[in-house]
Amino acid sequence: MRLLSLVLERYGPFTDRTVTFREDARLHVVLGANEAGKSSALSAVTDLLFGIETRTRYDFLHDMPQMRIGAEIRAADGRRLGFRRRKGNRNTLVDAADAALPEDALAPFLGGLSREVFCRAFGLDARALRAGAAEMMDAEGEVGASLFAAASGLRGYSGLQAELETEAAGIFMPRAAQSRTFYQALQRYDEARKAIRAGELRAGDWRDLNGEIEGAGATLVALKAERARIAAEQARLTRLRRVGPLLQAIDAAAARAEAEPDLIAVPEAWIDRLGQALTVRRTTAEAAARTQAAAAEATLALEQVPVEEGVLARADEILEAFRGTDRFDKGGIDLPRIQGEADAFARELAQLAARIGLPDAEALRARQPSDAARTRIEGLIRAGREDAATIARLRQDLAAREAERDRLAAATAGAGALADPAPLRTDLKAFAGLRRDLDRRDDLDAALTREAASIRTQAGRLSPPIPDLDAYAAGRPPSAEAVARYRRTLDGALRERDRAADRLAAAQGAVAQRRARLEARAAGRPIPSLADLLALRTRRDALLAELPGGAPDVLARFGAALAAADRAADDLVSDAARVAEQGADTRSLAAEQAEAAAADEALAACEARLAEGAAAWRAAWAPCGIEPAAPAEMAAWLTEVETLQDSAQGLETTRLEQARMAARVEACRAPLADLSRRAGLPDLDGLDLGRMLVRLEDRVGELALHWEAVREAKTRAETAAEQIARTAAALAEALAREAAWRTAWGPALADLGLAAEATPDEAEAALAAWRAVPAALSERDNRLGRVNGIARDIAVYREAVARLTAAVAPDLAALPPTAAMKALHTRLQDALRGETRRAELARQRDAAEAARMQAARAAQAAAADLTALMAEGPAAGLPPGTDPEALHGRLTDRRACQAELAERRAELARAADGLAEADLRGDLAALTGDDIEGSLANLAAEAEDLDQRGQRAFADRDRHERRRVELEGGIGAELALAQRKAAEAELQTNARHWAVLKLASLMLGTAIGRHRAGQQDPLLTRSGALFGGLTGGAFAGLAQDYDAADIPRLAGRRASGELVPVEGLSEGTRDQLYLALRLAYLEDYAARAEPAPFIGDDLFLTFDDARTAHGLEALAAVGDTIQPILFTHHRHVADLARARLGDAVDVLDL
């Protein structure tokens, strides 16, 4: 689509302004000075095609409803459309009669472009050009990234992709790290699982826990009482240590206060008056002595100052003459220098006269040329040199362009017949998605392998592990409900067994205790029993029956049996309590043994039921080949297995997609092989599809490169022929200007006294000499006038100094004038200082005498006051000759001792904590300081030990109480379960966020990769040709080079074959590279769709003239397929366009 005319009816600063674009031009340059409306015209093109924005800034002259833009456009197939755009919300497209046009009337001309795409891809200014080059630099020249940036106009995608990868890595990476949020949630999940098992209440925990709490509480109560005792003793000892020094100070102060019992008692005020009188007497006596010495010193100093009356009488004349010494000395210094300068200017004038050819300076003054003559000759010199340089440059350019024309003609002649590769490229575009399908197929293969290995690894890491997940599923493992049922059964059997074991342990303990009591009771004297007594009585009765006719010893044996029976009866009566206890214990032992036997049988039954349940539990898992753990652990294990089974199901879905993608890829083999044969590659049938596609793309790229090279050569040959004609015409014009210059050159030289055949260099040398003449004449005259004035001033000053020294100081007449005046000035200063000093000393003498008399009177008054004070009150009875100073010192010391004693007793009252002084003295009498310190140290150690024991007891009680509260609440396992579910939800959230970030990064990378794969070769070929033109042949084209990581990088190729990476290019060359990539992309876009005009806004703002000229030629080179329009406010850009492109450029002035 081409813009044929732009009608700015009412828009911005324009009213009824029409800009017509010449149809046969290959480049349009719109020239607008500052404030001419260039920015408004630029914005008008965008608003024309896509509608005037709702909030526009170009309504400052015309109201929004009145804004109108019109245009006539032409499509690539020749269709034309004239329309106007008005400001509004609906029906903004109208024809010349303001009749509404369909909203999609521009769709065939725009080819589906949006405003944003048009501004990014078809609009470019100097700032965006520099930013795009910087983006290529940031991407380090990576091919796909550079092509993507140039094609889309987008920037910052490399940093965005890196940010996405970094954020995703902060969530999950295969290598575990606690800084990643996924593994943090996984750790919380594992900790919650452990807490579920640890949060259950076990048998015996409650009883032990309460015992621990009660024991810790009793310990804390005992420690509290002991701590109170220690604190009381510490307070008593600390108080004694605190008041001991105070009692000692009180005793010392009392002793000092009673040391002089014969000292008179006087009021406190009298002591203060005595001290003040003594102070006044000392002060006045010292002042009298000091003022008398000062008066004598002032009188002596006044008599020693000399007086000079003669010098003081002529002080004004001396000062005036002294101020002239600097001028006299400077004149003596400047006179030889200025005379030398005058001589130097005289010599310079003589040299100039010799250079010009005149006899002396006066002749120079008389023959000076006028300013007009010098200016005319200077202009002729500049014009002659410019003409000579222009002729030399044009001849060189003409030779170079003729050589270029011949070279291009030879290149196009040897190319032969070529076929346009466009049909092959069109057919190859049908396989644009094949590379994506191949990548997808390979990605699916890798994903299948990776996921299957991951599932096997995770199944092997389970506890218990699963060797084969499919065999496990076929074995019909127990469900979660069955696991819960087994758990309840086994837990119930386990609790019954624990109760039976506790019952057995209690019964066996009771039997053991009962036996111990029986054995302890039997270990003393024998315990009589009724059975033993009956047996003894039976034996007695038997012996009694044998007495009447028995043997002689029967009586003795009967007596012994009788005594034994009696003793047994007595023992049974006396030990009735022990006998009863032993009997009761014996009966209880039998009952407890029976209870122990029953508990043993119950425990055996529980063990059997538990073993039966465990066997059934293992049998339930046997078909799956799993040796199960405890049901509680297997419940969590089942959750993990279900996750693995879900992953396996997803793996099957991926496997089906992989098979479908493989079939889809294989269906492209036959048409791709046919296209390969058409491109001249018949032997590709057996290759992998990926390699076949690469070979075919390389072949089509080679054909396109050759085709574009030949087309470019033909275009450049035509351009070279046009440039040769323009250069030849310019050369003829320059030669004509040179002939006219020579006609005016000869007569102009006469004003300088030169021959007509003199060269511009000779004339310039003569002009340089004449330019120096006026200044040299002026400077010489100036120096001669200054020499005469200085000599006159020196003579006048000498005469004045001689008169003054003869009158005041004849001894200075032999000195030079400045030395004599400096000496005389020094004498004047000394005389002035002496006069000032005498006046000051006289004033000081009078003041010192007055002060002496006043101090003497004050000393006499102070002595009289002290004598009167010593004669009044209690002091009147003192012995004659008492020293007032000594008396005042003794009275003051006694008062200080009394004040200290009162202060110490007040301190003792504050420190005694309410105890009497006698009680404190009694306590201190039994203790020494070392005893107190030792006792305090022992008490501190005991207190520290109590604190540590108390902290341990308190910590134990607090820990056990918190545990009891937790167990009483009964929420330990439930809270852990909630934490596990929260961790599961967080794991899902992190996984979802990570997947979104990775997908975004992969989508961005895939877009860049597709751009690299789909357009790399033809786009690089055309970009290389444009880049070579933009750099003026400094680079022959572009190439891709692979770095150490096998990543293709963009590089410039010099004519010698040397490759220069993007980071090795200068800033301006990178700008040219970005422009070449953009123009090549727009040409490629024009081959596939209807292109919009390319709008450049001061595109070459940072280019010099050479680069700007090459840039204009590059824009014109793409003018056959797209319409380039360059807006600029630099007139030299338009002039360069006319000089380089001639009729191919259309320059429009706003």
d(CA 477, CA 1093): 71
pLDDT higher than threshold 60 for residue 154 = no
The pLDDT confidence band at residue 141, using thresholds 50, 70 and 90, is: very low
**Of the ranges 10-14, 117-121, 636-640, 685-689, which one carries the lowest mean pLDDT score?**
685-689
Q: Parallel, antiparallel, or unpaired: how do β-strands 1145-1149 and 27-31 relate?
A: parallel
Q: How far apart are CA 166 and CA 177, in angstroms?
A: 14
Instruction: Look at residue 574 and tell me whether its pLDDT is greater than 70.
Output: no
Instruction: Say how many C-beta atoms besides its own lie within 10 A of residue 375's C-beta.
Output: 10
Question: What does the DSSP assignment read for 380-442?
Answer: HHHHHHHHHHHHHHHHHHHHHHHHHHHHHHHHHHTS------HHHHHHHHTTTTHHHHHHHHH
User: In the block, which residue shows the tokens 């119950």?
Assistant: 602
The pLDDT tens digits for 811-842 are 777 888 788 778 877 877 877 777 777 778 78
- Whether the pLDDT of residue 201 is over 60: the answer is no
Provide the 10 A C-beta neighbour count for residue 1027: 27
Nearest Cα to Cα of residue 380 among 767, 744, 762, 771? 744
Give the Cα separation of 1123 and 3 in Å (integer): 8
Mean pLDDT of the chain: 78
Q: What is the pLDDT of residues 15-50, one digit of tens each?
A: 888 989 999 899 999 988 776 676 787 788 888 888
Coil, helix or strand at residue 452: helix
Round to whole Å and give the CA distance between 432 and 429: 5
Reply yes or no on whether the pLDDT at 202 is more than 50: no
In whole angstroms, give the CA distance from residue 648 to residue 644. 6
The ranges assigned to domains in the chain are 205-252+885-968, 476-627
Rounded distance between C-alpha atoms, residue 564 and residue 566, angstroms: 5
**What is the per-residue burial (b if ≥16 Cβ within 10 Å, else e) of 446-464?**
eebeebeeebeebbeeeee
Which amino acid is present at 324? G
Tell me if 978 sits within 8 A of 189, measured CB to CB: no
CA distance 783 to 339: 7
DSSP string computed for 485-503: HHHHHHHHHHHHHHHHHHH
Residues 1139 and 1133: their CA atoms lie apart, in Å, by 10
* Spatial distance between the Cα atoms of 738 and 358, rounded to a whole number of angstroms: 33
Block residue for tokens 């099957």 = 652
> 1061: part of which helix (H) or strand (E)?
strand 1059-1061
919 vs 206: which has the higher pLDDT: 919
Instruction: State how far the Cα of 832 lies from the Cα of 151, in Å rounded to an integer.
Output: 96
Look up residue 620 and give its two tokens: 């339930």
Q: E strands along 505-556, which residues?
A: none
pLDDT in tens, 733-754: 888 888 888 787 777 777 666 7
Would you tell me how many other CB atoms lie within 10 Å of the CB of residue 844? 17
> Scanning the structure block, which residue is given the tokens 């101090």?
855
194, 173 contact by CB (below 8 A):
no
Give the per-residue pLDDT at 974: 60
Instruction: Provide the 8-state DSSP code for 65.
Output: G
Neighbouring residues of 749: CB distance < 8 A, sequence distance ≥ 6: 377, 755, 756, 758, 763
Question: Which stretches of 153-267 are DSSP H helices?
Answer: 157-169, 181-198, 205-257
Over residues 123-150, the mean pLDDT reads 60
Residue type, 419: A
The 10s digit of each residue's pLDDT in 72-110 is 999 888 889 899 888 887 878 888 777 888 888 888 888
20's enclosing H/E stretch is strand 14-20
- Cβ within 8 Å of residue 963, ≥6 positions away: 209
Peptide bond into 464 cis (omega under 30): yes
pLDDT at position 266, please? 74
For the beta carbon of residue 646, count every other beta carbon within 10 angstroms: 10
Cα–Cα distance for residue pair 1099/1111, rounded to 1 Å: 9
Is the separation of the CB atoms in 40 and 33 below 8 Å? no
Across 201-208, average pLDDT = 54
Contacts of 999 (CB under 8 A, 6+ apart): none
pLDDT (tens digit, 9 = 90+) per residue, 459-468? Answer: 888 888 888 8
Task: Tell me if 932 sits within 8 A of 206, measured CB to CB.
Answer: no
pLDDT of 707: 73
**Average pLDDT for residues 451-477, to the nearest whole number?**
82
Please tell me the distance from the alpha carbon of residue 1085 to that of residue 110, in angstroms, as a whole number: 12
Residue type, 647: S
1124-1128, strands of its sheet edge to edge? 123-125, 1094-1097, 1124-1128, 27-31, 1145-1149
